[in-house]
Amino acid sequence: MISSKESLRAWLRLSLTPGVGNVTARALLLKFGLPEAIFEQSACELQAIVSSALGRQLRLIPLGLEEAVDTTWEWLQTQAHLGTSKVAHKRLLTLADVDYPSSLMLTPDPPCLLYALGQTQHLHMLSPPAHQAPQAIAVVGSRNPTPQGRLNAHDFAVHLAQAGLTVVSGLALGVDTAAHQGALKGGSSQHPLHTVAVVGTGLDRVYPHQNHALALEIAAHGLLLSEYPLNTPPITANFPQRNRLIAGLSQGCLVVEAAARSGSLITARQALDLGKEVFAIPGSIHTTVSKGCHDLIKQGAKLVDCAPDILEELKDLPDVQWHSAPAPDLLDPSSGLEPFSEAAKLGKSTLTVLDHLGQDPVGLDELQLRSGLSTSQLQAELFQLELNGALGRLQGGLYQKLNPRR
């Protein structure tokens, strides 16, 4: 634990030295101990681990070190009051810290420093006992999901949080946002770490800015984590880089929607490399954001269409509340249930349009041919369905039926 400004300076000096990545830093620490000891070594001694050029670099003071020390020390000394009884605590975890998430130590390159904001008193929940898996699951997917994908991410996260799992995601727009929101809704005081957001910027800023209020709520009921120093702006390369931490903190990874080249597939592959379970929700064969999930399923990921499918695979985790019987799909004709709770309020023609929508995205012209309605009447019915949460609009003027899950 960093308890002095001198200790902070040594750790920041190590992490900010050009050419010293996480793997090199870990090797130096294993050889010499704490950072202070590393900087006491001669060039000859350092060359047992690093090149002569890097050994010389380690003996120099990185540019901006003192400013970084002052900024970080000041940040650590203040608490963020969230306008309620909750306080967001701040920690800077090092590889030598007892509270450093043990699940990350099993990854190839755990970050030398990990910044934490939120309910840091529950950090131990990310460090399960030896030979036990983390009580957490990653939920990732497209930044531009379909309305159905957004709904799936939210509802799956609600159920997973209710079962006692911490939902880990990346605070991005789209699936990440819906997953965090669902976890916050489904979480309880019995499992106080509802959700963890692993971000690609410094923790003194929120990206995207639209998620500022969500970040505050996560800090009140979970954690925000970052390996990047304070004042780090959004840099494109940082976001795929942080995905390995999302995978490392979790026992499994759920991909909700993903295109063929989605960054979410990076997280899924990293989870597989770490021996974690990978789950994928299938979608329409006509939407590009389902292609990545379908490819994962072909490669062996488990196809899931409800949260109990995931809980069945994770039922050996000690505190997961597993239920074997999946909840019925309210839009499955075989369920015998009404399509959604507002069905009784809809007219016959509106329900007819709902039937003609099918499960795949469909354009206005095609829907008009199926229903036989005039353009003005069809648009009025579609508007009514959208108001009742039974319909979502997609890019390209397409519409898609929404399937709420319970």
The ranges assigned to domains in the chain are 5-66, 79-313, 333-401
Task: Report the CATH fold assignment for 333-401.
Answer: Arc Repressor Mutant, subunit A (1.10.10)
Confirm if 259 and 140 have CB atoms less than 8 A apart: no
Q: What is the pLDDT at residue 356? A: 79
Give residue 398's pLDDT: 80
On the question of a cis peptide bond just before residue 234, with omega within 30 degrees of 0, the verdict is no
Instruction: Give the pLDDT confidence score for residue 378 in this predicted structure.
Output: 79
Predicted TM-score of the model (pTM): 0.84
Residue 151 binned pLDDT confidence (cut-offs 50, 70, 90): very high
157: Cα within 13 Å, side-chain hemisphere = 30
Higher-pLDDT residue of 353, 192: 192
CATH fold of 79-313 = Rossmann fold (3.40.50)
Residue 360 confidence (pLDDT): 75
Q: Is the pLDDT of residue 365 over 90?
A: no
Asked if pLDDT for residue 333 goes beyond 50, the answer is no
Residue 343 has pLDDT above 60, yes or no: no
- In the predicted model, what is the mean pLDDT of residues 381-406? 75
Same fold, 79-313 and 333-401: no
Per-residue pLDDT at 175 exceeds 80: yes
What does the pLDDT look like over 5-23, one tens digit per residue? 999 999 999 999 999 999 9
Q: In the structure, what pLDDT confidence band is assigned to residue 246 with cuts at 50, 70 and 90?
A: very high
Is the pLDDT assigned to residue 386 strictly greater than 90? no
For residue 43, pLDDT over 70 is answered with: yes
Candidate from 108-117, 159-168, 182-191, 330-339 with smallest mean pLDDT: 330-339
Return the CATH number of the domain spanning residue range 5-66. Answer: 1.10.150
Question: Mean pLDDT, to the nearest integer, of 236-263?
Answer: 95
